Copies of this chain bind each other. A is one copy, B any other.
């Protein structure tokens, strides 16, 4: 088996993982959950932990030989041929402020490359699925990025202008932000779903972890877009957290040049 067919068998489990995380999120959303602050200063709730634990149980039951890397409970056999990469709640800040833009991110990584990705918003019941070699879908319907030949016409998303380190990283983002038609903030990974559907043209972010970005790659590539690091290299488990997603390859090139330097 090659391409999509080889990974289709894992899609059922990916859906079950998203279903079970969503059920837990809906139970806690807009209830007064207590919020702890982790060592990296990011917030975490019982909903994050329960959702990841439940997903890990399902993976262990279905594919005990697979590895798992999750935001809350770390890594387990990440040298296995297949590794599931989980973010039970991407956008915990949105979750705790009652804003239904957080998502569950689920990726299956094969030989270091993400081959299956799910972005799921459990309150709005929106689910994006991408499988290497196949067309990505939103709630079962094929989706496609839109054309945007010029960066001057682009809609850009970034979760926050504060996510970039002072210096070249922040300067690079600022150059992109000044070049686009419409910079938008507060996206979390929901923004990548919008890009895959043709409602945005660029997402530029930094300081992301593998569980934040691995799921996005198959969804965006399967919709005709690109998702790489800022230098245009494929995203891997050991990528450094600078993400550049674009619907149109011409905008990706323009953004890469702006991120790299003033010219």
Contact = CB atoms under 8 A, between A and B. Distances in A.
Contacts of A155: 96-97
Contacts of A124: 100, 123-124
A194 interface: yes
A83 interface: no
A86 interface: no
A95 to B, nearest CB: 10
Given A99-B199, A101-B101, 17 more contacts: A30-B197, A94-B184, A97-B155, A97-B182, A97-B184, A97-B200, A98-B197, A98-B200, A100-B124, A123-B124, A124-B124, A160-B183, A160-B185, A162-B183, A185-B185, A185-B186, A186-B187
Given A30-B199, A161-B161, A199-B30, A182 B98 contact: no
A69 to B, nearest CB: 26
Interface size on A, as a range, is: 20 to 34
A185 B159 CA distance: 8
Contacts of A187: 99, 186
Interface in A79-118: 93-94, 96-101
A3 to B, nearest CB: 29
A101 B98 contact: no
Contact of A184 (B100, B184, B186, B194): B186
A160 to B, nearest CB: 6
Contacts of A99: 101, 184, 187, 190, 194, 199
Nearest to A146: B32
Interface string A113-153: 00000000001100000000000000000000000000000
